[in-house]
Structure formats: structure tokens, C-alpha cells
Amino acid sequence: MGERFLVTGAQGCLGAWVVKHLMARDMDVVAGDLTIDPVRPRLIMGEDAIAKVDWQRLDVTEAEAVMAMVQDKGITRIVHLAGLQIPFCKADPARGAAVNVSGTVHVFEAARAAGVQGLAYASSLAVIGREEDYDMRPVPDDAIPRPYTLYGAYKVANEQTARVYAEDWGVGSVGLRPCVVYGVGRDQGMSSDLAKALLAAVAGQAFHIRLGGRIPVEHASDVAEMFIGSAMAGGRAARVFNMRNDVVTVPQYIEAVRRIVPGAEITHAEGVDFPHPADLDDAGLRGLLGTVPHTPLDQALARDAEMFRTLLAEDRIDLTQLTV
Ligand SMILES: NC(=O)c1ccc[n+]([C@@H]2O[C@H](COP(=O)([O-])OP(=O)(O)OC[C@H]3O[C@@H](n4cnc5c(N)ncnc54)[C@H](O)[C@@H]3O)[C@@H](O)[C@H]2O)c1
């Protein structure tokens, strides 16, 4: 039997990009999320590819539903992205834990029962603490986690869950720690301001980025490729990797946007530093993947701007996201 992927959180930003890249590789894809209307995937995928995806309603808080989906669909690899971001976990901690922690346990349990060959899941830079908590630069994969948000604490729980599943049952996994992801489809969570700033610029609107300081950024398309490569890697160990593509200050990011959209009216939080260390060691991920997918910032922004122009011209993107 061939490979069949389950992508959880497939209607999210990273989920949409993972589904897009899997379809480009002609893979069999079951795309699970709370809804089956592919709103974000439609921003970046053509209708032909959309029609070939098996869109399924899947709530990862429902253990039996996750188990049944993995077994009934003959899933061989999982990219687990379903999750609630920092503000949503803060607003509803119990729901945050149910989705981010229990949901991940359900995915691991289903992977164990079905003997899936590859499991990649989203951890986060949020497991790493504040800039001042770490002496070593770049910060290694095995730095002591010091999360200061519930979201980060839940991601630490997931990394530890993964470790125990490997030790007790040989369920291998790769946890990836995205930093600040930008790209078409990134429209919620505080760090989505970078992506929104470009959309606002293309739409001719002013925008304020609620971040400052030096930040590690990755394009959603590259991160999606990293998740696919990690799910393909297999093995029986639990591995967790930092990411590091571009490291820029917020003013440098704004300058890069202005090279694409001259005169873009973008401000940012002055005198505010990005709380996490920006200098992360991604040697482990390089070791796993060989080459880490990396579209240089200017090139990625130019491509996104072109996509935003088309989406705006065809009235296919919701600008209310700029005011949330
Ligand atoms: N975007 C980033 O900068 C970033 C950084 C670090 C880590 N991450 C992690 O990567 C993953 C994907 O991030 P994203 O940017 O695509 O987020 P997103 O918010 O765009 O997408 C998350 C998706 O999960 C779905 N979801 C929520 N609850 C669910 C449930 N109970 N069952 C099934 N699906 C559910 C949502 O409907 C949404 O489509 C998340 O786990 C996130 O914590 C993202």
C-alpha cells in the first residue's frame, strides 16, 4: 500500500501549506480540522488540487475520532498541526490544554495503535524562555525549556509526551519549533502581524506591527516542507528541533516590505524587544533533512505580494483580519 498522510489543523496557515506541498507531490492526503471548508487552502491552492484532497471534520480533542480516522483511512504518516495559539490558550486555558495537550496525546495514541511510520508535530519557539534565561548562543535544541506562557507550557508537555511514547512504545516522532511564521494564510496569533503588514501594504492600508526587536522568521511554505521532510524521516526516536531561517529586526523587515511596496505605511512597537532569543541553532534539523528549505526574505515577500495582489484583485481575501 502507498503512503497516506493525515494533516491535523489542515485549515490553518501551516496546514494549508503542508496540504498544498503534499498535493504537489501527488500524495494521498486526509486533511482534518474542525471545519471542512478550505478557506485558507483556497488562498494558495488551485481548485484541481483542492478537489483531490479528502477534507474531513476532525476534532483532535475526541480520542475515538482521531483513532478511527487514522485506522479507517489507513494513515501511514501524520503531520500534527492542530492547536490553539498563545492568545487563545490564555483566554481559555482548559480548552487550550484539551486541544494542545490532550489532542496531541490522542494523535500519539492513534499513531501507536496503527503503527504509523512517520509523525511530525508542531512544537514552538515558545518552549524556549526569555532572551535573558539563556547564556549559550546559538540556543541549542536541548536547552532547558522555560516557557512563560501556558501555550509554551503545553508545547513542553507535548515534547515530553513524545519522548515517553518513544521510550515506552518505540513511537518515533519529530517535533519542530517554528518561530515567527509569515506568508499568505498567516492571519491569526500576535506574530501574524508580519504577514498582515505585507497584505496591508499591498492593499494600500497603514498597519502597526505589535512586535519589536530582533526576530527569527520563517516562511510558511518552507516550514511546511520541513514538516513533510520530518514526517518522511521515520525512525523510533523522539527528536525535537529548533528552526532558524532569517533573523531580522522588525525595522529591517519593514524595510524589506518597502523594497517590494515602496512607501508602505508600517509602524512597529518601539522600545519593545522580542521576548525570546532570536539566535537559535538549527544544526539538528539540518542533520535530519540535509538541506533546510529556506526562501530568502526578499524573494518570499515578493512572491507573497504577488499572491496578495491577485487575491485582492479577485476579491478573494478578507481584509477584516487587518483590524483584529
Ligand atoms: N504560525 C506560527 O508562527 C507558529 C509558531 C510556532 C508554532 N506554531 C504551531 O504550528 C501549528 C500550526 O500553526 P498555524 O500558524 O497553522 O496556526 P493556525 O491557528 O492558523 O491553525 C491551527 C488550526 O488548528 C485547528 N484546530 C483548532 N482546534 C482544533 C481541534 N480541536 N481539532 C482540530 N483542529 C483544530 C484550527 O481550526 C486551525 O485551522 C500550531 O500547533 C501552532 O501552535 C505556529
Residue nearest to atom 39 of ligand 1 (CA): 12
In the reported structure, the alpha carbon of residue 176 is separated from the centroid of ligand 1 by a whole-number distance in angstroms of 13
Residue nearest to atom 38 of ligand 1 (CA): 12
Confirm whether 270 is domain-assigned.
no
Confirm whether 264 is domain-assigned.
no
Question: Which residue, among 126, 227, 221, 216, has the nearest Cα to 176 in the 3D structure?
Answer: 227
pLDDT band at residue 100 using 50, 70 and 90 as cut-offs: very high
pLDDT at 203 over 70: yes
Q: What are phi and psi of 52, to 5 degrees?
A: -90, -10
Q: Report the C-alpha gap between 268 and 251 in whole angstroms.
A: 8
For residue range 13-46, list pLDDT tens digits in order: 999 999 999 999 999 999 999 999 999 999 999 9
Largest CA-CA distance found in the chain, in angstroms, rounded? 57
Range of the domain at 135: 4-181+218-244+276-295
pLDDT score at 1? 61
Confirm whether 319 is domain-assigned.
no
Confirm whether 258 is domain-assigned.
no
**Residue 181: strand pairing partners:** 218
**Residue 5: strand pairing partners:** 29, 77
Query: Do 87 and 192 contact (CB within 8 A), yes or no?
Result: no
In the reported structure, the alpha carbon of residue 262 is separated from the centroid of ligand 1 by a whole-number distance in angstroms of 32
Ligand 1 and 99: CB distance under 6 A: yes
Domain count, the chain: 1
Query: Do 8 and 82 contact (CB within 8 A), yes or no?
Result: yes
In the reported structure, the alpha carbon of residue 81 is separated from the centroid of ligand 1 by a whole-number distance in angstroms of 5
Confirm whether 10 is domain-assigned.
yes
- CATH number for the domain spanning 91: value is 3.40.50.720
Confirm whether 257 is domain-assigned.
no
Confirm whether 309 is domain-assigned.
no
- Which mutation among 60, 88, 124, 180 tests ligand 1's pocket best, with the greatest number of atoms within 8 A of CB? 124
CA distances for 263 relative to 176, 211, 252, angstroms: 36, 20, 14
Confirm whether 269 is domain-assigned.
no
In sequence order, what DSSP letters do the residues of 185-250 get, joined into one string? T--SSGGGHHHHHHHHHHHT--EEES--SEEEEEEHHHHHHHHHHHHHH--SSEEEEE--SEEEEH
Ligand 1 and 12: CB distance under 6 A: yes
Q: What is the mean pLDDT of residues 266-271?
A: 95
For residue range 101-157, list pLDDT tens digits in order: 999 999 999 999 999 999 999 999 999 999 999 999 999 999 999 999 999 999 999
Ligand 1 and 60: CB distance under 6 A: yes
Is 323 strand, coil or helix?
helix
Question: Which residue, among 60, 75, 251, has the nearest Cα to 158 in the 3D structure?
Answer: 60
Kindly report whether the peptide bond that precedes residue 277 is cis, defined as omega within 30 degrees of 0: no
Q: Are strands 214-219 and 246-249 parallel, antiparallel or unpaired?
A: antiparallel
Ligand 1 and 13: CB distance under 6 A: yes
Grid coordinates in use for 298?
Answer: 526578499
